[in-house]
Chains A and B, each alone.
Chain A
Amino acid sequence: MADRITSPDQLKALAAKAKADIDLREGRKETQVTVHMGTCGIAAGAREIVAAFMAELAANGVTSTSLHQSGCAGLCEEEPMATVTTADGTLYRYGLLDKDKVRTIVVNHLVGGTPVEAYLIKT
């Protein structure tokens, strides 16, 4: 049984913890996939990678992930690439993507919760 609340400070602390727990839980719905679409990314096929993510997210019923685009990430030789940002702010940068890799990332990482180490960019 939880400790009794005996002071306003305890109540505030409990409220803050509850809010943090809720934010974390809600935040899981805000996993973001960002496909990098600078000139280098576009030339390497980034548009098809966006289409592949759209198709795979829909096919796998993933509603907890939003899809975004951004400019060049400074790793042009790794294009086309995408960054997965999880609720806790962790970044996973995937490089040299193709449609098959996108499918694996959606199934294993975005659905299963396990990053695909083999496709992560080694820096």
Chain B
Amino acid sequence: MHDLSLYLLDILENSVRAGATVIATSIVVERADDALTITVEDDGPGLPVEPEQALDPFFTTKGHKKTGLGLSLFRQAAEAAGGGLEVGRSDELGGVRVSARMSIVNVDRPPLGDIAASLATMVVTNPAIEFRVRVCDGGDRVSLRGPDVARHLAEIVAFQDSLA
């Protein structure tokens, strides 16, 4: 994967395929702590296995495949950038929660990429799902719900340009 927006797209697709009707994305920049955290939570049925098994590249929920690389690749990227990835249950929405944290300044941190394009792709192709987005960089915060996500992508573009 070239950048973090593609990992995000992959995690969002997992939630869609799991049957979620609400999917919340949070991207938080804490410059004082040198931390970038990307979190996706959904109201789907939750993990069918223990979190550690879900991170196994040879575990997948798809019957016709033998590998499930999305989460394990994201974890690898986060760890390479001085962070890590956690998978568990979402307290807020009841489904799965995936959260990746990494160092902003780490030379191995992938660029943020086009977060707005990833979100737009999912919003356009899944009109029945409510997407929520919260991006926060210090005092700057954008919090969007449902159709607002599509209408306010420019704000997300401005956010991602500030981090690159």
Q: Which residues in A have some Cβ–Cβ distance to B below 8 Å?
A: 35, 37-40, 42-43, 47, 50-51, 54, 67-72, 74
Contacts and interface: CB of A to CB of B under 8 A. Distances in A.
A80 to B, nearest CB: 12
Nearest to B7: A42
Contacts of B64: 74
A47 B117 contact: yes
Interface string B63-107: 011001110010000000000000000000000000000000000
Contacts of B13: 37-38, 42, 69, 71
Contacts of B126: 68-69
21 contacts: A35-B125, A37-B10, A38-B70, A39-B10, A39-B68, A39-B73, A40-B69, A42-B6, A42-B9, A43-B6, A47-B114, A50-B124, A51-B117, A54-B124, A67-B124, A67-B125, A68-B125, A68-B126, A69-B121, A71-B62, A74-B64
How many interface residues does chain B have, given as a range?
Answer: 20 to 34
Nearest to B127: A66
A38 B11 CA distance: 10
A70 B125 CA distance: 9
B163 interface: no
B125 A47 contact: no
Given A38-B13, A69-B13, A47 B124 contact: no
A42 B1 contact: yes
Contacts of B62: 71-72
Contacts of B124: 50, 54, 67
B151 interface: no
Interface in B31-65: 62, 64-65
* 4 smallest beta-carbon distances between A and B, as pairs: A69-B125, A39-B70, A74-B64, A50-B121
